Amino acid sequence: MRASWLYRSVGDAGAPAVIGLLRPGHRAIVTPLTAICAKRWSHDYSDTVMLPSTEFPDRTAAIKVQEQFLSVISDQVYNWQKENLPENSLFILHDGPPYANADVHVGHAVNRIIKDMIIRYQVMQGRRVSYIPGWDCHGLPIELKVLESLEHGKKALQLTPVEIRKLARQHAENTITKQMSSFKEWGTMGEWENPYKTMDSDYEIRQLEVFRSMVNAGVIYRRCRPVYWSCQSHTALAEAELEYAPQHRSTAAYVKFPLLIPDGLVRLVKEQSDVDVSGKPVHVLVWTTTPWTIPANKAIAVNPDMTYQVVYSDAHGVLVVAQSRAESVTDDLGPMRVLAGSIPGSALTSFGYTHPLHSNPVTQSILAADFVTSDAGTGLVHCAPGHGMEDYLVCQKYGIEPYSPVNEYGEYDATVPAGLEILIGKSVFKDGQSTVLNLLAEADALAGVNSGYQHKYPYDWRSKKPVIIRATAQWFADLGSIKDKAVTSLDNVDFLPESGKHRLQSFTRERSEWCISRQRAWGVPIPALYDSTTGDALLTDTSIEHIINEIKKVGIDTWFAEEDDITHWIAPEYREERKSYVKGKDTMDVWFDSGTSWTLIQEKYGSLREKGKNLVDVYIEGSDQHRGWFQSSLLTYTATHRNGKAPFSTVLTHGFTLDGKGRKMSKSLGNVIAPGAIAWEKYKIDKVMMQPIGVSGLRLWVAQNDYRTDISVSVESFKRVQDSLSKLRRTFKYILGNFKPTPYFTYERDVPYGELGPIDQHALYSLYELEKSVKAHYDNFAFNRVVQAVNKNVAELSSSYFQLIKSRLYTDHPSSLSRRTALTVLAHVFRTYTSVLSPIIPLLTQEAWHHAPCCVTGQSEGVFSPFVSGWYETPEEWNNEKLRDDFLQLSNIRDAVNDGLEIARKSGNIGTSLDAGVVLSTEPGTTAFALLESYKAHLAEYFVTSEVNVFTASADSETTTAYRWSSVPKKLTILGSMMKTTVVSPSRHKCPRCWHWNAKKESEVCGECLETVKSMHGFNAP
Ligand SMILES: [Zn+2]
């Protein structure tokens, strides 16, 4: 029974049996004592040998076991810190709300776990944290999802806005419930009981208040102007809702507009080429990639600083083109002869032209514009101010109104110019465009068409269809007055990566206005009333205040309801008998929704923030949010504050998750992996079946990646995680196992630093180094470097220190100083590891903590978690640089010794390293000799050999021959001196208890063992 108990305990103990690499090429041939002792100690000495034993489970296979600690590390720790850590230390990580419309994917896990590591580190540092998870609930995708899922036969058009809103709200709620349960499963902590949702009524009210103060600041206006428009969703789109397709194919066309030719030009042509063009048709030639916008042409732009020429082509007649574009135009349209050149663009602006398709043509103008370049086209640009941003801006200067005869479905409407009624109802992308081209050809105004012109073109990011630009009456925020303030406020914001600052600044600078209205039912309304007769909008401080109060009273859905009498929405001072109003139907851009989420933090913590500090400590989201949430937060905050600050102190971004082949994860590629599967179930990566790695594995995987760039989900990266996780688990198990109380001794107190031997002190130095470097990495949010540093330390300790103390731990007297010093170091390792690892893998550290007696944690019983204990700051006393330098040399010597041991093992002279002795020799009087002398007493233990003798170089050759066998000496240079290491046979006999060759006689225990056994058993020792 005894033997089998021992055997099992050996298996369970799982002491770091892995013999780690000391250095590349140097294998420590230290065999764990536990692995070999069991057979030998089955009777005589087994009860005096203290093998590790602990309840701490062995393998991560029992992943589910960890579930019992989930609520401890999330709810319990979060609530504890909220109640116990000082209020004035508050650290706020403000959650960028994920969209409440999808299943969770690995990207969510990366985002959530990074956030969690950040706040957990802060708690370890003794700071109170606030993390209120949020959800972005409004907007088109949810509306569409709801409409798609309607029961068979029920049409979207049959639903009222109120009905749509009800379904959308339900959908968002359901998604939030599902997402939240996943987020919690990943061991992330926060205010789960009290998240924020952009559809909460208090949220909506705060958002409307932000809108109101922006109205009061005079930055909100309504204007008919071109906006990006989705013909699928029938709504305006913000730039952040666009994706650019690099290979989009458009139909490009050369179009001729009849020039009203002035006498001056006739004379010029006559002078330069003796051709008379008076009374003959002369055309200005334009090139466009959106021929469907030709009916809406209102002007032609030229660059006043470019030079133009009159050319003649047999096929197309007399044309005006830019000199710099003539060659390219000739390539497309055939040979051309120059009739007159050197005409400055500025001269053309006095000319007029007419529209070739209008039945009642009027004279239109040629305008000067800087955006005309010699890069493309003809150097003359067709301007449709209702269908182009630049066109709009240049026409606005000349008082030309935007004109857009296209409806929300992307079809021509009844406002088409006289003569073009045939276009009504036709799609601008399909038959509408082809009809325009046919009409142009009939009018002899089409000089050339290329139906496969490839270029970059904006798409609606939701419907994945090309957008159009269309002028409609929309609400805008004028960014002209805000953006300078916003950009300047970023000077005091830290960005990681640093390039984020420039990105956010330049994206913000690029924008002049923000189209904030959308034509949807599921959102926060723009609280405007419109005069039923004139259509004029009523949007004043008083009217908004009144509407906000009314929403508080009757609920926001009522705004969207059909009401017979809407008087209650009109502020009393605007109620006039002769006037009637209608409620606006526009909702706000969802970026405005999420962009005002800082109001929650302001309301909750505004008064707590120290003066001079920005509202929130950290914003962190995916790197696409420089155009999205970071920017809308910055703009709404700076628009409503005069403190010159940004809402955040630090902005971090993380990359996206890619599969092993570097492809984005998507359903269509079939490479999506659910984070839940990684943690709990089997899953496939690149066709390889993978084992679950638990929540700790998932978190460690997130941490080990450099999240600043894209993160790939690869077989190799998960194997690495499994490997480091099991090493960590074995380490905790090894440490805990050695603290099991014996009948002779219970560990109660750490041995003071000064009483430790140099090997123990050196182990503490490595912990000191680890703790300080890890702290710096955490401060820089570099979790991958934390993982690297810990892995390195684990490898070092488990391959050397943990091996060499086994003798002391297992066979020295339980209460001996040598054993207690080893335990002291192990306790410090435990405290340091649980401290540095808790932000990353809190489940594992909590589990280890749970199994650790107070003497190991160094804390009283009531300290239920490493988070309560706080950061384990290693004392300055441990920072012994002399020791570090000495051990650098000693480890080089050890490498040489290990080489000799390896040879001795291969030649059959030894089984384990304890079967050998070592002879070291060097010149007397050297620093190297002094080093050996001063560590002489510790070298056998350090090398895990039975003895070490130090000789001067001259004495050595005589002495080594005295051994039964010796290896060929290995030479190396230490501190400038030649040193020789020789592995030799030990001079004494092997002790059957401790395996050291310390016994005076064959088969007898050594003196130390005898004393130990006597003391443990009285004098009845065998
Ligand atoms: Zn012994």
Question: What's the gap in Å between 544 CA and the centre of ligand 1?
Answer: 89
Kindly indicate the confidence band of residue 27, based on its pLDDT and cuts at 50, 70 and 90: very low
Over residues 304-316, mean pLDDT: 87
Question: What's the gap in Å between 994 CA and the centre of ligand 1?
Answer: 4
For residue 91, give the nearest of 117, 115, 123 by alpha carbon: 123
Q: What is the DSSP string of 196-250?
A: EETTSHHHHHHHHHHHHHHHHTT-EEEEEEEEEEETTTTEEE-GGGEEEEEEEEE
Of 915 and 352, more confident: 915
The answer to whether the Cα torsion of 685, 688, 691, 697 is positive or negative is: negative
The rounded distance, in Å, linking the Cα atoms of 82 and 80 is 5
Question: What's the gap in Å between 1004 CA and the centre of ligand 1?
Answer: 9
Question: What's the gap in Å between 993 CA and the centre of ligand 1?
Answer: 5
Per-residue pLDDT of 174-219, as tens digits, reads 999 999 999 999 999 999 999 999 999 999 999 999 999 999 999 9
What pLDDT score does 152 carry? 55
- Read off the tokens for 225: 């102007």
Residue in this structure with the two tokens 């909220």, named with its chain if needed: 82
Question: What's the gap in Å between 235 CA and the centre of ligand 1?
Answer: 85
The listed range with the strongest mean pLDDT (27-41, 111-125, 997-1011) is 111-125
Using a 10 angstrom Cβ sphere, with 0-12 exposed, 13-18 middle and 19 or more buried, the burial of residue 190 is buried
What pLDDT score does 62 carry? 55
Question: What's the gap in Å between 962 CA and the centre of ligand 1?
Answer: 24
The rounded distance, in Å, linking the Cα atoms of 591 and 511 is 15
Question: What's the gap in Å between 917 CA and the centre of ligand 1?
Answer: 15
Question: What's the gap in Å between 830 CA and the centre of ligand 1?
Answer: 29
Question: What's the gap in Å between 821 CA and the centre of ligand 1?
Answer: 19
Amino acid at site 700: L
Is residue 303 within 8 Å of 372, Cβ to Cβ? Answer: yes
The rounded distance, in Å, linking the Cα atoms of 449 and 287 is 9
Question: What's the gap in Å between 216 CA and the centre of ligand 1?
Answer: 88
The answer to whether the Cα torsion of 206, 207, 209, 213 is positive or negative is: positive
Percent of the chain with pLDDT over 90: 54
Kindly indicate the confidence band of residue 680, based on its pLDDT and cuts at 50, 70 and 90: confident
For residue 296, give the nearest of 518, 469, 474 by alpha carbon: 469
Question: What's the gap in Å between 488 CA and the centre of ligand 1?
Answer: 73
Question: What's the gap in Å between 533 CA and the centre of ligand 1?
Answer: 105
Kindly indicate the confidence band of residue 956, based on its pLDDT and cuts at 50, 70 and 90: low
Q: Please state the φ and ψ torsions of residue 260, each to the nearest 5 degrees.
A: -85, 95
Using a 10 angstrom Cβ sphere, with 0-12 exposed, 13-18 middle and 19 or more buried, the burial of residue 359 is exposed
What pLDDT score does 93 carry? 98
What pLDDT score does 7 carry? 27
What does DSSP say about strands 657-659 and 711-713: parallel, antiparallel, or unpaired? Answer: parallel
Question: What's the gap in Å between 79 CA and the centre of ligand 1?
Answer: 52
Q: What is the DSSP string of 585-645?
A: --EE-HHHHHHTTHHHHHHHHTTTSPTTS-SEEEEEEEGGGGTTHHHHHHHHHHHH--S--
Question: What's the gap in Å between 905 CA and the centre of ligand 1?
Answer: 22
Is residue 893 within 8 Å of 979, Cβ to Cβ? Answer: yes
Over residues 261-274, mean pLDDT: 78
What pLDDT score does 240 carry? 67
Question: What's the gap in Å between 40 CA and the centre of ligand 1?
Answer: 13
Kindly indicate the confidence band of residue 2, based on its pLDDT and cuts at 50, 70 and 90: very low
CA 1021 to each of CA 48, 227, 809, 1016: distance values in angstroms, whole numbers, following the listed order:
10, 94, 20, 8
What pLDDT score does 421 carry? 86
Question: What's the gap in Å between 100 CA and the centre of ligand 1?
Answer: 67
Over residues 845-866, mean pLDDT: 95
Q: How much is the mean pLDDT over the chain?
A: 88
Is residue 143 within 8 Å of 168, Cβ to Cβ? Answer: yes
The rounded distance, in Å, linking the Cα atoms of 951 and 920 is 6
Whether the predicted pLDDT of 378 surpasses 90: no
Over residues 931-946, mean pLDDT: 96
What pLDDT score does 11 carry? 31
The answer to whether the Cα torsion of 851, 856, 860, 863 is positive or negative is: negative
Question: What's the gap in Å between 941 CA and the centre of ligand 1?
Answer: 14
Whether the predicted pLDDT of 10 surpasses 50: no
Whether the predicted pLDDT of 17 surpasses 60: no
Neighbours of ion ligand 1 (CB under 5 A): 991, 993-994, 1006, 1009
Whether the predicted pLDDT of 39 surpasses 50: no
Question: What's the gap in Å between 809 CA and the centre of ligand 1?
Answer: 13
Whether the predicted pLDDT of 916 surpasses 50: yes
The rounded distance, in Å, linking the Cα atoms of 344 and 268 is 13
Kindly indicate the confidence band of residue 399, based on its pLDDT and cuts at 50, 70 and 90: confident
As a whole number of Å, the end-to-end CA separation of the chain is 20
Kindly indicate the confidence band of residue 742, based on its pLDDT and cuts at 50, 70 and 90: confident
What pLDDT score does 156 carry? 61
